[in-house]
Amino acid sequence: MTTNVLDRRNARIASDSRWSVDSVNFVYFVDDTGFDKIAERSSAVMICAGNSGLIDQWKTWFCSPNPSYVAPPSQLIDLMGTVVAEIAVTILTKPGFQVEFSRGSYEHFEDHAYFCGTGGVPARDCYSVNGCSFKCVETAKNHDPCTGGEVKYYELHSFNNNLSSPKATLDQMLHQLVDRGFAMNKSTREITPMDPLTQEEFRKQLANGTLSVSAPTGSPLRAWTERERHDVQEAMRRIVERETPANG
């Protein structure tokens, strides 16, 4: 339940900034926390969707000067062996727009742009008319209750971006959800501040480490294959090797 855009025509990636918890009747959410779905290093950028805890591990791994070539966990599995959460990842080199690795379900408009998340279809339809990765995320907000907040972006040719500074940690984002989050009624789309009872329940879950917040992809959950994990680890190896002479 997010909207991520790979805009090849304009050499830009973009994402909304909403994090959410889904329930039967409500979507609880927080916007503009500083915990972005986009991360950068000197020669590459990464854009993610999925479980926030997994995304946090992947951002730490991706941004490390000397990352392990063993990638972080890519899914959460329950006691029955069922995948209950996962992550979608795309890594691109800069400058340019070469995709080093991509794992996720993307809508596409010709070969110009690709769209991930539950806001993907309205974003694609908007882009097909306007060709603007900013406008298509804004449009997705009107159709997807879990797309919202400021549109974050990174331009791969110029390196211009509006990524958060200072960057928020996962823990800071989770506390912001509890302290200033909102509830959207799924039936009426009415938005109200989170009620005290829900806040208290979320505080308990936060204290015991069970509060699960995400930017879900909207795609059926499935475990990553060994080939996918091998490919992303090889992508990071190539990125680090390219950067090593510049850092030496």
Per residue in 76-120, pLDDT (tens digit) is 998 888 988 999 999 999 998 999 999 988 888 999 999 988 888
| CA–CA–CA angle 44, 45, 48 (5° rounding) | 145
Q: Classify residue 231: in a domain, yes or no.
A: yes
Q: What share of the chain is helix, strand, coil (3-state, %, to 5)?
A: 30, 30, 40
Beta bridge partners of 108: 114
For residue 216, cis peptide bond before it (omega within 30 degrees of 0):
no
193 found inside a domain: no
pTM of the model: 0.94
Cβ atoms of residues 29 and 184 within 8 Å: yes
Domain-embedded: residue 132? yes
Integer Rg of the chain from CA: 18
Total number of domains in the chain: 1
**The pLDDT of residue 216:** 74
pLDDT digits over 42-81, tens only?
999 999 999 999 999 999 999 999 888 899 999 999 888 8
pLDDT of residue 106: 87
What are 204-229's pLDDT values in tens digits?
999 999 999 998 787 888 899 999 99
Q: Given this model, what pLDDT does residue 164 score?
A: 97
Residues of the domain holding 161: 4-23+35-165+217-242
pLDDT of 246 above 60: no
Q: What CATH number has the domain bearing residue 69?
A: 3.60.20
Q: Round the average pLDDT of the chain to a whole number and report it.
A: 93
Q: Which helix (H) or strand (E) holds 214?
A: strand 214-215
What's residue 2's pLDDT? 83
Predicted confidence (pLDDT) at residue 154 exceeds the cutoff of 90:
yes
pLDDT at 247 over 90: no
Residue 111 lies in a domain: yes
Max distance between CA atoms of the chain, in angstroms, equals 58
Provide the pLDDT for residue 171: 96
Helices (H) and strands (E) in the chain, counts: 6, 15
What is the phi-psi region of residue 74: left when phi exceeds 0, alpha when psi lies from -120 to 50, beta otherwise?
alpha
**For residue 1, what pLDDT band results from cuts at 50, 70 and 90?**
low
